[in-house]
Structures are given as structure tokens and as C-alpha cells.
A and B are shown apart, each in its own frame.
Chain A
Amino acid sequence: MERKLLMTIRGVTKQYPGTLALNNIDMDVYGGEVLGLIGENGAGKSTLMKIMIGAETATSGTLEMHGKPYAPHTPIEAMKLGVGMVFQEQSLIMNLTVAQNIYIGREEQYVKHALVDTRRMNEDAQKVLQGLEITNIKSGTRVNRLDFADRQMVEIAKVFDSVGASEGEGSIILLDEPTSVLSEKEIQQLFRHVRRLCTRGNAVIFVSHKLDEVMEIADRICVFKDGCKVDEMPNENLDEGILYEKMVGKTASGEYYHVARQRVPEQDVVLELRKLCKRGYFADVDLQLHKGEILGICGVVGSGKEDLCAVICGDEDPTGGEILVRGQSQRFASPSQARKAASILSVPRERRVEGIIGELSAYENICMSNFDGVRQNGVISDKLAKVQAEKYVQELSIKLPSVNQRVGRLSGGNAQKVVFARILASGCDILILDHPTRGVDVGAKTEIYSIIRDIADQGKSLIVLGDTLDETIGLSNRVAVMKDGEITKMFDAPPDGKPEQVDIVKYMM
């Protein structure tokens, strides 16, 4: 079959404040092909797709569709031009029926005397579903009555139909992690339909963490890493090993992570998980955290690592298993109880939303997790709080005009150091750090690594979910790899024998 060029992407760059999400991407999309996109979290795949459907605009670079300049401002505009996307977070309106969802925004054909001909719309929607071999869903059902997988199929049907309606010249459909909740049978159904669409001259772009699926369906695979497209190859005679190697990021020097300061943890186990479960999120997790140890956990989005941390710090309830803190079995009703009863403190990823209170001053933020330390005669003493804050500002070399400075005004690195000052002031000795260097520039990162080493030197234990795989390996004494809610492998990571990223990725995907 002759390949017809549908879309060309040239020199597309997307700059977010502080990060370069996409760096000078060139890519072509041909009619009749399935194009697989793979890469770690944050490699730039999602950003590229958002630009393609008009949800984001590129900082520079051009896109062309059918040889004409293509710059949609909204997803609906993109859809009219023949580009549609099935979102990972579904975009269905829960309280409307399947048919209403499929045709929402496109009801004109069913409207007569201002009323929608529901019956005809339902019939047509049923045909659309049948066309996708979906037989178990009635088009008149409300979406919130469907289970999650069925909703996913409706979402797919909706996009296929709306893009299909403008077919003709050839359309592009983007699938972002479409299989994560589908059963084997549904996945095969989906693949069949993807192929059928392609034989009609359309293109499908398939994004997934599941390498096996990408290799099964894709004709061509593009590999993304750190905002760059590192390779592009036809899906022939590939093996997963090659792909893994291309995906993993560069390895920084040991000095960057202060590996020389990595210490051997003590024998005492401060935190132990026994067969810990949360139904639907992770299962049978066994883990030991030693005094003074840094334990890294890695896994793709949906592997269960975030949920595991949420359970440990008391934010979510487990459905089975045990959490032992210093040998005592514990259950926490809330994060504040976990902090008081077990000295566990979690530092969330979204610093601006969850980690600091931007409207308050630095010293108020620092004493936030432990008011007892700055109490005098039962009331909180501003003076003590400021003295304490001054101490940490010096220790962590936070750049502040004064401790009265509002934290909202600080740079990412300094704000994160304020968070660490709060951690130190809390006096907790089991710390969970979720992406501790997110949104922090390179210089400040290495300072933060040094602070993390200091904390470990004080005999405190840390669980780290790194911003990159390299960071997790570089910092940790041991690295646990999670996939589909289970720990698939535990690596030792001594200073002189850090595991290779490629080896870890194999267990993640």
C-alpha cells in the first residue's frame, strides 16, 4: 500500500517555566500506519500529543496536516480537522447516556423542533458500538452505570466515530494508555479495530507503557527521552532490550548524587510492611526499611508506588496486611496521626498545592509540622519559631531576605528547601519523599541531594520516589521496582555497584 503523508511535525519545541518539555521534535505520520510512542514518564510524549490536539500550543515549530498549516486552538477544532484523542483520564459526562456522550456537541442531525430525537440517536449510537464489536453496552444507559472498562470502550467509540465522521482524506487518532483497564479480549477487539481504521487510510498513534502491546500493534516506533525524540525505527526484528536501552536517560556522575557520602544503614528495621494490600492498587507488598537507609521505589504511573506511600503515611486505608513501626503493628486514621504516633512524615509531589502554604511566611511554614517545638507556656511563640527558622535557613543555606518572606514568592529550589526545613523541624524519623527535586533547577538539585544525605546521616530513614530513574538509583541504598501493584525486583545499590537503568526498566514495563 502506498503511504500517504498525513501530518508533518517540524522543529516543535515546548518550553515550560523551568523545564524544556519538548526539544526540537521532527516527526511524520502516514496514513495506514500505527505509530507507537514509548518513553519514560516525563519524556515528552504527552506534551506532544496535547500539541497535536490543540490543548497546548508549541513554543516554536510548525505542524502541517494534509500539506496545509495546522494549528488548532481547541480539541474540538482539531477533531474537525481530523485529529482526535482518547484520553487516559476519561472525558465522559457521567450523568449522560452513552449515546448522548458519543454525540455530544454534534447533535444537530437529531434535533427536530428543538427536541433531540433520543430514539434515533440511541439507535445510531448502538450501530457505532456494534461497528466496534461492542455488544454488551446499551446506548441508552447512563455512563455512571457502566464499569470502568466499558466506559473506556465508550470513550474509544466516541472518538472513533467523531473522527471517522470527517474521514475521507485520512484522520489521526491518538490513544493514550488505552489498555490499562481493558481485559485481554477487549484489548484484542481494540487492536482489531485499530487495524481496520488503518486499512482505510487513517493513522493511529498508540502510547503505552506496555512495551509488549506496542510491539504487537505498531508498524513504527518512536522513542522519546528527556523531551527529545531519540530514535525512530520500523517495528521489525526488534527486541525489548534494544528499546529499553534507548529509553533510559543519561547516567549522571556519582559526584552529582554525593554517592561517596552514601552510608551503610544500620541493622535495626524501623518500618516493615507485611503482605500489605490495597484492593485495586497494590497487593502483597513486603518491604523493610532500616535505620539510616534511603530506599528508592520505581515504577511507571499506575504501578501502585504512589498508593503504597499514601497508605504508609496514613492518607489511605489498606485493605489487608500489616504495617510495623519499630516492631509494633500500627494503623493510622490520618497523616497527622501517622506523624504523631509513628513519626512518619510524607512530603507530597505537588509542592505548590500540598507541600507549602504560599501565603504564609517561611518561618510559619517551617514550624507547621511541629508546633510543640516552638510552644512557650502553651502558646506558639513567634520568637521561638523565628529563631528555629533562622537556624535551618543557615544550615540549609536557603536564600531568603528574611524569615518573614512569603514562601509563595520563592524560587522552586528555595521553596523546596523550606519544605526540607519543615521536615527537619518536624523531628520525624521516617520520611517519604515524593519527587523531592521536581521543578528545581540543576544547581539546587545537588544541594538537595546533599541535604538528603545529611538527613540519612542523622539516622533517619527515607523512602524516595525519584524524579528520574537515575536520581532514584543515585540516591538509594536499595531500589524496589514495582509493576502492576507488586514488587517485581529488589536491587542493592551500594556506592561501588549501582544497578544499570536498563536492568531496572525491564522489571518496570
Chain B
Amino acid sequence: MEKQVHVSRIGEEFKQEMKKQSQRERFISWAPVGILAFLVVLFSIIAQGFFSLTNLQNLLKQLAIPLVMSLGLTFVILMGSTDLSAQGLAGFVGAIMALMVVNSKNANNMGFLGILIAVVAAILVTAISGIIHIKGKLPTFMVSYAVSSIMQGFAVLSYKGEPALIRDEFFTTMSQGSFLGIPYLTYIALAMFVIAYVLQFKTRFGSYVMAIGDNEGIAKNIGVNIDLTKFKVFLWLGVCIGLVGFMGAVRLGRGEVGIGSNLVFPAITSVVVGGTSLSGGKGGVVNTLVGAMIVTVINNALVLLGVSPYVQQAVQGMIIIAAVAISIPHGKNLIVK
């Protein structure tokens, strides 16, 4: 047999296949942006009032809270987990925050301190649920659901049936006012986006979250402190939920438990539609921004189109399935659970 050091035909083909696959992935990674552009153009043409300054402001306003919520969940999902605690926790934060600033139910006037206390409370709660998950090895899904119920209970207790109306002038103007045409709440959301961006791309924390989501075994071998990183993810989630509770209360003008009720699943949807994989390790905060925009635009345009409320939810569901189908890879032997 002759001696040969060579690369076989199969090797060549294999390299080509891998190249094709990575091209395909690159294409898919741009899909959410394409979908967003398509929807914007489509709705501008067919929906009366969509392409107007007022509506742009509406979109920016309606984007703010879902965006912050999704940014909080992005790191959780990048890690391959899920968290439902916002449902009750955001309501709790909104309720106690409303009770601490000037309000209709008591004589408190703590101003910014009130917000700070509310947000810190949210961080403490997610920190505790993080510890239960990490040390107790209980799945985040269940832990966070339980935590959500508990906080919902506390929220209701805190105002005994009658939500506090916010009377603090600073906050009432905050919900309405804008600077350079952009609503104040949207600035908060954009600032959170910048912070999330820095966290993902400019810190060790960002790399480690990605590593854990990609393959926890590798991350461990590399020397990543997995428990600590996960704990930090929960802290970040707490910050976001705290802000969401605060922003929700400001936007509605009162602290009621309903603030968080329609938030979690749309936020998870935003993250996934943006192209972040639910199994972790793929995607990130930029994807989330695009995803949150897609979901907001759909909600907004369906009302503008005057779509009958009876079919609206069905239409929304179908658009989301279509968007997800385009933005994630498929394959015959890809096992998805």
C-alpha cells in the first residue's frame, strides 16, 4: 500500500457542507431583522395611521416595558433556563412603589427612595429564588412560578383590594412627558438596552452566560464559576423586573397587581422571535431588541387595522409561529423539546 498523507474527497465535501451550514446560519441570524422590516413596510401600506408621528410615539411607549422585561429574561434564556416570577413580582414592585411615593392611600412621600426600595425588593426576591434554584437544584420554571404566586399574594395584601393612585407630580408627568419627542419611559428602556449590551459584549459575565448556555460541561472545564454566574443572572433579572414594576405603575398611574400579568409570555416570545434559542447559548440582547419590536408592532397594527377582537389573538399567534419558523434552524434529526 502506498504511503499517502492526503485529504480525502469526503473530507473536502465535509468542509463544504460545514461551510454551507454556517452560511445558512448566518442567513437565519438576519431573518428577524428582515421580518421586522417586512412588517413595518406592510403595515405602513395597509394600516391607516401606522406610519405617523403619533403612532411612532405610541410604538416607542408600548415598546418600553416589554423591552426591559425581555432584556431581563434574555440572559436567563441564554443560559438555557426560563423564569416566570415577573408575573407576580412586577405587580408587587408596582404596588409597594405606589404606596411609598405620594399616593391616594397614605401619607408617604419617599420619592426616589421609594423606587429604590421597590427595585431592591425585586432584586432580593430574584436572588432568593436564584439561590433556591442553584443550591436546591430545583428547576427555575417551578421555583419562579411559586415565587410569582407568593409575590402576587403579598402585592394584594399590600393594598387590600384598592390599588393606590400615584399622586406624586414628578411621576405623573413622567408617564406622559417626552423629551425630543421620545417618551421618558422609553429612555429608561434604551438605557437598559445599552447596559445589557455592555454586559453581554464587554464583561466576563456575558461570555460566561454564553458558555453556560452553549455547554455547561465545557464551561465548567474552562473554569467558569457556574453557580456565581447563574446567581448574577438572577440579580440582573431582579433589576429588570424591579424597573418593569416601577415603569408599569408609572404608566398606569397606579400600583396594581395586574402590571405583570400579561408580561411574561409576550416577553419570552420577543426573545425567541428575535432568534435567541430557548435551549441557550445562541442569540443575545440585540436579537431581543428586534424581537420586542416585532411583537410590539404586531400588537399595535392589529388594532389600527381594526381586526375584529374575536380573531385578533389567533392572527397574532399565527404571525408569531411564522416568525419563529423563519428565525430558527431546522433539520431532519434536530431534536426539539
A residues engaging B (CB < 8 A)?
55, 74-76, 91, 93-96, 100, 104-105, 107, 111, 114-116, 118, 144-149, 180-184, 187, 210, 212-213, 216, 240, 279-283, 304, 315-317, 484-486, 506-507
Of all chain B residues, the one with the shortest Cβ separation from A158 is B222
CA distance A93 to B280 in the complex (A): 11
Pick the contact of B203: A116, A182, A507 (CB < 8 A).
A116
| B25 lies within 8 A of A279 (CB) | no
Closest 9 CB pairs of A and B: A485-B10, A484-B8, A76-B223, A280-B14, A280-B17, A105-B223, A148-B18, A75-B221, A105-B222
Known: A93-B211, A212-B4. A279 touches B284 (CB 8 A): no
Q: Which residues of B contact A116 (CB under 8 A)?
A: 202-204, 207
Q: Is B11 an interface residue (CB 8 A)?
A: yes
Q: Which residues of B contact A180 (CB under 8 A)?
A: 11
Of all chain B residues, the one with the shortest Cβ separation from A303 is B10
| B223 lies within 8 A of A93 (CB) | no
Known: A91-B221, A96-B210. A115 touches B198 (CB 8 A): yes
Of all chain A residues, the one with the shortest Cβ separation from B222 is A105
**0/1 per residue, B63-89, Cβ < 8 Å to A?**
000000000000000000000000000
Q: Shortest distance in angstroms between A300's beta carbon and chain B's nearest beta carbon?
A: 13
| B221 lies within 8 A of A74 (CB) | yes
Q: Which residues of A contact B18 (CB under 8 A)?
A: 147-148, 280
**0/1 per residue, B1-23, Cβ < 8 Å to A?**
10111111111011111110010
**0/1 per residue, B156-182, Cβ < 8 Å to A?**
000000000000000000000000000
Pick the contact of A93: B6, B8, B14, B215 (CB < 8 A).
B215
**0/1 per residue, B279-317, Cβ < 8 Å to A?**
001111000000000000000000000000000000000
Pick the contact of A304: B10, B207, B219, B333 (CB < 8 A).
B10
Of all chain A residues, the one with the shortest Cβ separation from B8 is A484
Known: A94-B282, A104-B222, A212-B3. A146 touches B22 (CB 8 A): yes
CA distance A66 to B215 in the complex (A): 33
Of all chain A residues, the one with the shortest Cβ separation from B18 is A148
| B10 lies within 8 A of A95 (CB) | no
Listed by A's residue number, 18 A-B pairs whose Cβ atoms lie within 8 Å are A55-B221, A76-B221, A76-B223, A93-B219, A95-B210, A95-B281, A107-B204, A115-B202, A115-B203, A116-B204, A147-B18, A181-B11, A184-B6, A187-B5, A240-B1, A484-B8, A484-B11, A486-B8
Of all chain A residues, the one with the shortest Cβ separation from B201 is A118
Q: Shortest distance in angstroms between B79's beta carbon and chain A's nearest beta carbon?
A: 12
Q: Which of B1-52 contact A (CB under 8 A)?
A: 1, 3-11, 13-19, 22, 25-26
CA distance A283 to B6 in the complex (A): 17
**Among A76, A105, A182, A282, residue most surrounded by chain B Cβ atoms (within 10 Å):** A105
Known pairs A213-B5, A283-B10 / 15 extra A-B pairs, C-beta < 8 Å: A75-B222, A76-B222, A94-B214, A96-B210, A100-B207, A104-B208, A105-B223, A118-B202, A144-B25, A146-B22, A147-B22, A148-B15, A148-B18, A240-B3, A486-B9
| A95 lies within 8 A of B8 (CB) | no
| B16 lies within 8 A of A280 (CB) | yes
CA distance A94 to B25 in the complex (A): 12
Q: Shortest distance in angstroms between A260's beta carbon and chain B's nearest beta carbon?
A: 33
Q: Shortest distance in angstroms between B201's beta carbon and chain A's nearest beta carbon?
A: 7
Of all chain B residues, the one with the shortest Cβ separation from A317 is B332
CA distance A210 to B11 in the complex (A): 14
| B15 lies within 8 A of A181 (CB) | yes
Q: Which residues of B contact A100 (CB under 8 A)?
A: 207
| A95 lies within 8 A of B214 (CB) | yes
CA distance A147 to B19 in the complex (A): 6
| A93 lies within 8 A of B207 (CB) | yes
Q: Which residues of A contact B14 (CB under 8 A)?
A: 148, 181, 280-281
Q: Shortest distance in angstroms between A263's beta carbon and chain B's nearest beta carbon?
A: 33
| B210 lies within 8 A of A149 (CB) | no
Q: Which residues of B contact A93 (CB under 8 A)?
A: 207, 210-211, 214-215, 218-219, 281
| B220 lies within 8 A of A74 (CB) | yes
Known: A76-B221, A76-B222, A148-B18. A485 touches B8 (CB 8 A): yes
CA distance A181 to B7 in the complex (A): 8
Q: Shortest distance in angstroms between A333's beta carbon and chain B's nearest beta carbon?
A: 9
Known: A104-B222, A144-B22. A282 touches B10 (CB 8 A): yes
Q: Is B272 an interface residue (CB 8 A)?
A: no
Known: A147-B19, A316-B332. A506 touches B1 (CB 8 A): yes
CA distance A74 to B22 in the complex (A): 32
Q: Which residues of B contact A304 (CB under 8 A)?
A: 10
Known: A91-B221, A212-B3, A484-B8. A316 touches B333 (CB 8 A): yes
| B211 lies within 8 A of A96 (CB) | yes
Q: Which residues of B contact A283 (CB under 8 A)?
A: 9-10, 13
Q: Is B237 an interface residue (CB 8 A)?
A: no
CA distance A181 to B14 in the complex (A): 8
CA distance A96 to B220 in the complex (A): 16
Q: Which residues of B contact A146 (CB under 8 A)?
A: 22
CA distance A320 to B219 in the complex (A): 39
CA distance A28 to B66 in the complex (A): 61
Q: Which residues of B contact A91 (CB under 8 A)?
A: 215, 218, 221-222
Q: Shortest distance in angstroms between B285's beta carbon and chain A's nearest beta carbon?
A: 12
Q: Is B151 an interface residue (CB 8 A)?
A: no
Q: Shortest distance in angstroms between B209's beta carbon and chain A's nearest beta carbon?
A: 10
Q: Which residues of B contact A74 (CB under 8 A)?
A: 220-221, 223
Q: Is B224 an interface residue (CB 8 A)?
A: yes
Q: Which residues of B contact A281 (CB under 8 A)?
A: 10, 14
CA distance A241 to B132 in the complex (A): 61
Pick the contact of A279: B16, B211, B221, B222 (CB < 8 A).
B16
Of all chain A residues, the one with the shortest Cβ separation from B277 is A95
Q: Shortest distance in angstroms between B277's beta carbon and chain A's nearest beta carbon?
A: 10
CA distance A147 to B13 in the complex (A): 13
Pick the contact of A149: B15, B223, B281 (CB < 8 A).
B15
Q: Which residues of B contact A184 (CB under 8 A)?
A: 5-7
Q: Shortest distance in angstroms between A338's beta carbon and chain B's nearest beta carbon?
A: 14
Q: Which residues of A contact B207 (CB under 8 A)?
A: 93, 96, 100, 104, 107, 116
Of all chain A residues, the one with the shortest Cβ separation from B225 is A105
CA distance A282 to B8 in the complex (A): 10
Of all chain A residues, the one with the shortest Cβ separation from B26 is A145
CA distance A240 to B282 in the complex (A): 45
Q: Shortest distance in angstroms between B12's beta carbon and chain A's nearest beta carbon?
A: 9
Of all chain B residues, the one with the shortest Cβ separation from A76 is B223
CA distance A280 to B13 in the complex (A): 4
Q: Which residues of B contact A147 (CB under 8 A)?
A: 15, 18-19, 22
CA distance A147 to B12 in the complex (A): 12
CA distance A8 to B218 in the complex (A): 27
Of all chain B residues, the one with the shortest Cβ separation from A284 is B9
| B214 lies within 8 A of A280 (CB) | no
Q: Which of B211-244 contact A (CB under 8 A)?
A: 211, 214-215, 218-224
CA distance A405 to B141 in the complex (A): 34
Of all chain A residues, the one with the shortest Cβ separation from B217 is A91
Q: Shortest distance in angstroms between A505's beta carbon and chain B's nearest beta carbon?
A: 11
Q: Shortest distance in angstroms between B202's beta carbon and chain A's nearest beta carbon?
A: 5
Q: Which residues of B contact A182 (CB under 8 A)?
A: 7
Q: Which residues of B contact A181 (CB under 8 A)?
A: 11, 14-15
